[in-house]
């Protein structure tokens, strides 16, 4: 990603110069993953915080019976990574894999610490990023406990139309907290109704 592009994106939240955008970028490295490649395996240490450039990262939890439950889809300019693992150097509770061929910018914990130290305005940047993520998570919790699967599916489509095109349906079902079979049923129901 070019410094100009980064600057433009970050300016949604903080006012930074082109030089600062370059300094920011210099702390990252670009990595690429093929479709379905695992980026972080649960139980391993998550050593980077990721910014998705292209493609999609899916974060998921694997339960005691081996079932996968999707926590997050991250597309262009979304952040991803296991925060407790990254921050406290503990094994990651989640796995992360690429959906479609994916290009990432990754920053290590030492470089993130350096970023906060050398460019304190990034405390503000991430304060806003986390605050917005928190608000989105609050909304999702309420949707999960207050609405039916069909309503959640419609709200999801509305909110993340790009994601629906990129991601296999079984993962969308998992994100919604239902089985792929039941999502299939919902979709039929909806198409019959129209």
Contacts with a second copy by CB under 8 A lie at 61, 63, 67, 69, 71-72, 83-84, 87, 116, 120, 123-124, 126-127, 130-131, 133-135, 137-138, 140-142, 144-147, 174, 176-177
Q: How far is Cα 24 from Cα 112, in angstroms, rounded to an integer?
A: 10
**Closest to DNA by CB, 58 or 112:** 58
Tokens (6 digits) for 194:
């129209």
- H or E stretch at 128: helix 121-146
Q: What are phi and psi of 2, to 5 degrees?
A: -80, 150
Q: What is the pairing mode between strands 95-108 and 79-80?
A: unpaired
Q: Measured on CA atoms in the order 188, 190, 191, 193, is the torsion positive or negative?
A: positive
**Closest to DNA by CB, 17 or 35:** 35
**Closest to DNA by CB, 57 or 112:** 57
169 binds, among DNA, a second copy, none (CB under 5 to 8 A by kind): DNA
For the bound state, the minimum distance from the C-beta of residue 118 to a second copy, rounded and expressed in Å, comes to 14
Residue with tokens 């198409």: 191
For the bound state, the minimum distance from the C-beta of residue 7 to a second copy, rounded and expressed in Å, comes to 20
168 binds, among DNA, a second copy, none (CB under 5 to 8 A by kind): DNA
How many CA atoms lie within 13 Å of 69's alpha carbon, on the beta-carbon side? 9
For the bound state, the minimum distance from the C-beta of residue 32 to a second copy, rounded and expressed in Å, comes to 26
What is the Cα 70 distance to its own chain's centre?
A: 10
63 binds, among DNA, a second copy, none (CB under 5 to 8 A by kind): a second copy
Query: What is the contact surface with DNA in residues (CB under 7 A)?
Result: 35-36, 148-150, 168-170, 177-185, 187-188
Q: How far is Cα 123 from Cα 108, in angstroms, rounded to an integer?
A: 16
Tokens (6 digits) for 164:
């629906």
182 binds, among DNA, a second copy, none (CB under 5 to 8 A by kind): DNA
123 binds, among DNA, a second copy, none (CB under 5 to 8 A by kind): a second copy
């Amino acid at each position: 990603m070019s410094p100009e592009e980064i600057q433009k994106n970050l300016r949604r939240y903080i006012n930074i110069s082109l030089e600062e955008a370059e300094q920011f970028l210099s702390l990252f490295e670009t990595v690429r993953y093929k479709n379905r490649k695992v980026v972080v395996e649960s139980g391993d240490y998550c050593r980077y915080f990721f910014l998705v450039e292209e493609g999609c990262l899916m974060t998921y939890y694997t339960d005691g019976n081996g079932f996968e439950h999707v926590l997050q889809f991250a597309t262009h300019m979304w952040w991803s990574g296991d925060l407790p693992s990254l921050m406290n150097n503990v094994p990651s509770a989640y796995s992360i894999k690429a959906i479609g061929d994916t290009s990432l910018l990754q920053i290590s914990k030492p470089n993130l610490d350096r970023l906060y130290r050398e460019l304190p305005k990034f405390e503000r940047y991430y304060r806003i990023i986390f605050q917005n993520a928190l608000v989105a998570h609050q909304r999702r919790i309420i949707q999960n406990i207050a609405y039916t699967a069909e309503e959640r599916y419609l709200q999801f489509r509305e909110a993340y139309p790009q994601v629906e095109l990129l991601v296999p349906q079984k993962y969308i079902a998992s994100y919604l907290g239902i089985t792929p079979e039941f999502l299939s049923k919902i979709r039929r129901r909806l198409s019959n109704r129209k």
